[in-house]
């Protein structure tokens, strides 16, 4: 007679039977209890009028009076360009919102109420509160001039528009440039850094060569600028390669080519010898010519 493949001991059989009984009890007992017992359910409910609950609902309403109370009116009439981060926080903005306002100002400037309405981080309630105190134009307009003409004694002519005191772009400091519309500290430092590398500006249109300086900003500030100071020239027969390659009109390859030509010739005799380099084209030569000397 063959022996069984699996042999269960009496102890194992009893343990298995008890385990199966427990499983059946756990699975089916709740179902049987629910079947034979009626559920005790109540369909009555009450609303607790708690002050904390009311406050929570009020906080969700953007137009709640206490939500608007955090915005403060502007304490003086001024240009929005002059408001710093502390001023915006004093008006009711958070630190993050105030920082975003300064970034927007440095990039685009504040030119009108219509433009400021499109700034997402600026709440419409706050803009409405301070709009009467914002001054976007310091000059005397044509309409104002016409109105004043009628009140002047005969023979005194028409009041002229307020003359703008212009800055010399080649000598203005960073603090002076920051006072211009749309120019922040970062942009002012970029302009000065480019001016140093260039040796000075020959014309105001060269501002467009500065990377990141948008055309609309240049258009807004160019009327406040002028050029009086002469540019600084580079002495080609003595300048080092490290200094020459920093000029924005030259690549490091072109600067290296100029130094090699100078060493081969024993020094330049005329500036037009620069065109002998295959790397210096006519356009580069014309742009570079006012900034170099022998």
Over residues 211-221, the pLDDT tens digits come to 888 888 888 88
- Tokens 């330049």 correspond to 268
Over residues 248-261, the pLDDT tens digits come to 888 888 888 888 88
Confidence (pLDDT) at 6: 63
Residues with Cβ < 8 Å from 34, sequence gap 6 or more?
none
Over residues 95-120, the pLDDT tens digits come to 888 888 888 888 778 888 888 888 88
Over residues 19-54, the pLDDT tens digits come to 889 898 888 888 777 777 766 555 454 544 555 545
The separation between the first and the last C-alpha atoms of the chain, rounded to the nearest angstrom, is 119
Confidence band of 143 (pLDDT split at 50, 70, 90): very low
Residue 186, pLDDT > 60, answer yes
Pairing of strands 234-235, 292-293: parallel
Residue 148, pLDDT > 80, answer no
Over residues 221-252, the pLDDT tens digits come to 888 888 888 888 888 888 888 888 888 888 88
Confidence (pLDDT) at 39: 60
Cα 194 to Cα 127, 186, 216: the distances in Å are 36, 12, 19
Q: What's the average model confidence in pLDDT over 193-213?
A: 88
Confidence (pLDDT) at 144: 38
Q: What's the average model confidence in pLDDT over 155-180?
A: 68
């Amino acid at each position: 007679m063959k022996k069984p493949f699996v042999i269960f001991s009496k102890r194992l059989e009893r343990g298995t039977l008890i385990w199966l009984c427990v499983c059946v009890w756990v699975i089916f007992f709740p179902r049987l209890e629910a079947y034979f017992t009626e559920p005790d359910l109540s369909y009555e409910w009450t609303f607790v009028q708690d002050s904390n609950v009311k406050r929570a609902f009020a906080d969700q309403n953007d137009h709640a009076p206490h939500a608007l109370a955090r915005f403060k009116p502007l304490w003086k009439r001024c240009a929005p360009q002059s408001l710093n981060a502390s001023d915006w926080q004093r008006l009711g903005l958070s630190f993050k919102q105030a920082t975003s306002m300064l970034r927007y100002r440095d990039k685009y400037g504040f030119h009108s109420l219509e433009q400021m309405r499109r700034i997402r981080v600026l709440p419409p309630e706050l803009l409405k509160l301070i709009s009467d105190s914002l001054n976007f134009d310091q000059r005397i307009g044509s309409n104002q001039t016409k109105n004043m003409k009628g009140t002047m004694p005969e023979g005194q002519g028409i009041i002229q528009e307020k003359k703008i005191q212009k800055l010399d772009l080649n000598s203005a400091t960073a603090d002076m440039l920051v006072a211009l519309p749309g120019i922040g500290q970062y942009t002012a430092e970029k302009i000065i850094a480019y001016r140093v590398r260039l040796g000075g500006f020959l014309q105001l249109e060269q501002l467009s060569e500065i990377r990141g300086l948008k055309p609309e900003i240049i258009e807004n500030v160019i009327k406040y600028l002028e050029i009086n100071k002469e540019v600084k020239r580079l002495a080609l027969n003595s300048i080092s390669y490290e200094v020459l390659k920093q000029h924005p009109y030259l690549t490091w390859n072109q600067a290296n080519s100029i130094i090699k030509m100078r060493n081969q010739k024993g020094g330049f005799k005329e500036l037009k010898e620069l065109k002998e380099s295959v790397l210096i084209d006519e356009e580069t030569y014309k742009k570079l010519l006012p900034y170099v000397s022998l």
